[in-house]
Structure 1
Amino acid sequence: MPLLNRLLRYGLVGGAAAAVHIIVLLLLGPWMSLSLANPIAFLAASMAGYLGHALLTFREETGGRQFARRWLLLQYAVNLSVCALLPLLQAPTLVLVFTPTLLNAVIWSRAARFSAKAREHQNGQPPLLHADDLGLAEGVDAAILNLAQSGRLQGASLLVNGPSATAAVEAWRDLADPPPLSLHVCLTEGHGLPDSPDLPTGFGRLLLASLLPWQRQRIAPQLRAVLLQQISRYRQLTGLQHIRLDGHQHIHLVPLVLDAVLDLSRSESITWVRTTRESLPEGLSLRLWWRSLQTGGLIKWLVLQLLSGLAVPRLHRAGLQTNRRFAGVLFSGSMFGTAFRRSWETAYNSIAVDRASQSVVLIHPGLPNAVSGMNQKAFQQSVAFFNSTNRQKEWASAQKL
């Protein structure tokens, strides 16, 4: 009976979508050619199916929410391609009629399973909220300390060569229950080591150097020296022996840098390294996808997904722990409002895990005029980033958790 009920609902929605297709086609027919009217009518029918199957056919899986919009785009693109290709292959009439129907059933079923999995995550273990760049400037530190004091923040990363690092650590110790601190390895700016003049200072340049054996050999000693200097400084400031580690602009995931981290992990007691395996959030508007594309978030997401995929097996082989999920790359620089909420929901763990494996949601909060007191010459790349009002919006969104 449940299967029959599902089939009846599927048929009802399918019939409604077909009716929408016919009605739109009849309305547009007198005004434009069939070759243009039919794709428009088919888009209207696809939208009807998209809404109907989410809200009616698969309501148990979706909980009455829409599918992620990428499933509508996938269904429309696949159907248009198949309907254009099959006649060229002189496919039989039955194939022409039933192939799109079968493809739609597969696509909407997959969309339903994706929604069900996402809802399981949201009902599981919540992620840890983490802030980067403690020690960069007083306005940044104040926002991070405010979130930690109110209990909304579960961790922060210390930029040991930042101008306010000493004061930030002292304030962190004064918290009633200070969350864990991580070493925020910084190689793209502000490392301030005069005997490493040839060390590339950009993510792209270090990534490129990772692919060139002669560059790896030339840079490795300088890279090791910078890491040891920052590890020593971290211990001097915090008094901690065991080190949790991540990177400014996620530089620690570049293979050349990760090599150095792994080489030092045993001697320097590195126990945990952050990775950025980020699932794409559901329910994002086209405007938010466009924002991610404009700000380079989508490109960063693709690159860091690949680098994290390569890093995780190496970390496990070295006996290092890492987070299971992550959010904060896709909307890096604009983790506020709906983007923050959807990213937070998607980062839930569907199963209970220990703290070291819990999901991490990353933000970069700051107060108004957050760059005041920043060493703007040493941290040129961060000036515009923290001068933006988006830092304040991220801080405000985190306060609403």
Structure 2
Amino acid sequence: MNLPAALNRLVRYGAIGLLAAVVHAGVLMGLGSWLPLSLANPIGFLTASVAGYLGHALVTFREETGGRRFPRRWLLLQYAVNISVCSLLPLLDAPTVVLVFTPTVLNALIWNRAARVVLHQRQRSGCPAIHADDLGLDAGVDSAILELAEAGRLTSASLLVAGPTAPSAAAAWQSLANTQPLVLHLCLTEGPQPQDCPDLPAGFGDLLLGSLRPAKRHALRAQVETAVQSQIHRFQQLTGQRQIHLDGHQHVHLLPLVLEVVLEQREIVWVRTTAEPLPQGLPLTLWIKALNNGGLLKWLVLQSLTWLARRRLTHAGISSNRRFAGVLFTGQMAGVALEAAQESLGDGDLLLAHPAAPVSTNQLMQRHFHRSAEFFSSPWRQHEWNALKARVPHG
């Protein structure tokens, strides 16, 4: 930044700081007559912080933010830091000049850092790959995925080899132009029972607990190995692909026991991970929804599993995606959630969706895909399909 620009930035910063001070004084004077000072002052300071938060984003650092506000976490950070420092410094008998200017310096550092982070996010090049799971599950799922891929609004898809329509879906995908190879969608939690695997299919929680119980682990591991190798063989038969990219139905491939088996399969060269950045600018109602429907808990579990898996994948020489979106709002990737997820990702990242036309739930129940029957009977499958159809095509 040259000298005139730096001086201009300094003037703007000072003007917003003065405005925040005026707001603080005004609120303090207005509330001081009927509230104790110990309560009126924090309220005034919070109001001034909001004014500074908006002013610095929209005015001081507008070149970095593009005229948009900072993520709300920066306001919370600024408020927490200032309250902590202003409470601590008097206890240390700090001189008056330190009491006055320390919060000012800290605020400058906080907002400058916030501006740099926002600028980096805005300058991130490329677009995430848009990926759909569960190809081969049902004709309604297949038709939506194939239509999106043909229109250039979908980058890749995962094939559920035990699904009722897997053969026709694999053949249809291979007939499309400009699409990536299919990904094997490893399924251990539902579907037909594999031969010689009495404990499979099993729920995500059952497989996780089985991974941790020594008495159960040995027998379960042998069955997982049988199922994984069977699905690899079936996938190769349907697609003709020798090298395999793999992910998991309900992300089961990230469970330690399952991942251990996956890493032993020489055919596998890529495994999906779920390092999902928290999106910015979401309304509070969406965060409440993510909390109520278990999305936040699922996000925490899969963040931990991905952290554990990354080192093992690197050691095994298996590649992966950088970042990911599709856990926090699983099954509801449309509207604001979809837009925020896309903005949080860039080139080399992966955004997951589950688009579908209406499905035959009776057929899914007959093939023991009970969880999928419930999931794909939701109108959100069509919402996601329509949201992806409205996207600008790739390339």
Q: Same fold (TM over 0.5)?
A: yes
Corresponding position of 2:369? 379
Corresponding position of 2:270? 272
Which secondary structure does the structure 2 equivalent of 1:381 belong to? helix
Aligned positions of 1:239-388 closer than 5 A: 239-264=240-265, 266=266, 269-349=267-347, 358-369=348-359, 371=361, 373-375=363-365, 378-388=368-378
Change (3 A) 1:105 1:207: farther
Question: How big is the shift at 1:117?
Answer: 1.2
Q: Distance in 1 between matches of 2:257 and 2:284?
A: 36
Q: Distance in 2 between matches of 1:175 and 1:12?
A: 58
Structure 1, 290-299 or 16-25: larger mean CA deviation: 290-299
Which secondary structure does the structure 2 equivalent of 1:133 belong to? strand
Structure 1 residue 15 corresponds to structure 2 residue 18: yes
1:213-242: CA deviation from partner (whole Å, max 9, x where unpaired):
444333211110010111111122222221
Which secondary structure does the structure 1 equivalent of 2:158 belong to? strand
Contact 2:138 2:359 in 1 (8 A): no
1:343-375: CA deviation from partner (whole Å, max 9, x where unpaired):
1122113xxxxxxxx221110112245646323
Change (3 A) 1:287 1:44: same
Q: Distance in 1 between matches of 2:187 and 2:367?
A: 15
Question: How big is the shift at 1:166?
Answer: 2.2
Corresponding position of 2:65? 62
Structure 1, 88-97 or 33-42: larger mean CA deviation: 88-97
* Equivalent of 2:381 in 351, 371, 391: 391
Which secondary structure does the structure 2 equivalent of 1:160 belong to? coil
Return the letter of the residue paired with 1:241.
R
Structure 1 residue 106 corresponds to structure 2 residue 83: no
Return the letter of the residue paired with 1:260.
V
Return the letter of the residue paired with 2:133.
D
Corresponding position of 1:132? 133
Which secondary structure does the structure 1 equivalent of 2:133 belong to? strand
Q: Distance in 2 between matches of 1:283 and 1:25?
A: 30
Contact 1:193 1:226 in 2 (8 A): yes
Question: How big is the shift at 1:68?
Answer: 1.1
Question: How big is the shift at 1:98?
Answer: 2.9
Corresponding position of 1:189? 190
Structure 1 residue 83 corresponds to structure 2 residue 81: no
Structure 1, 57-66 or 31-40: larger mean CA deviation: 31-40
Return the letter of the residue paired with 1:280.
L
How high is the TM-score relative to the length of structure 1?
A: 0.90
Corresponding position of 1:236? 237
Structure 1 residue 6 corresponds to structure 2 residue 21: no
Question: How big is the shift at 1:92?
Answer: 4.4
Contact 2:273 2:324 in 1 (8 A): yes
Q: Distance in 1 between matches of 2:205 and 2:95?
A: 52
Q: Distance in 1 between matches of 2:249 and 2:144?
A: 18
Q: Distance in 2 between matches of 1:376 and 1:94?
A: 76
Contact 1:336 1:393 in 2 (8 A): yes
Contact 1:139 1:372 in 2 (8 A): no
Q: Distance in 2 between matches of 1:57 and 1:141?
A: 50
What is the root-mean-square deviation of aligned Cα atoms in Å? 2.2
Return the letter of the residue paired with 1:35.
S
Change (3 A) 1:215 1:86: farther
Q: Distance in 1 between matches of 2:185 and 2:322?
A: 19
Change (3 A) 1:41 1:372: farther
Q: For structure 1, which runs of at least 5 residues remain unmatched after alignment? A: 350-357
Return the letter of the residue paired with 1:66.
R
How high is the TM-score relative to the length of structure 2?
A: 0.91
1:228-258: CA deviation from partner (whole Å, max 9, x where unpaired):
1111111222222211100011111111111
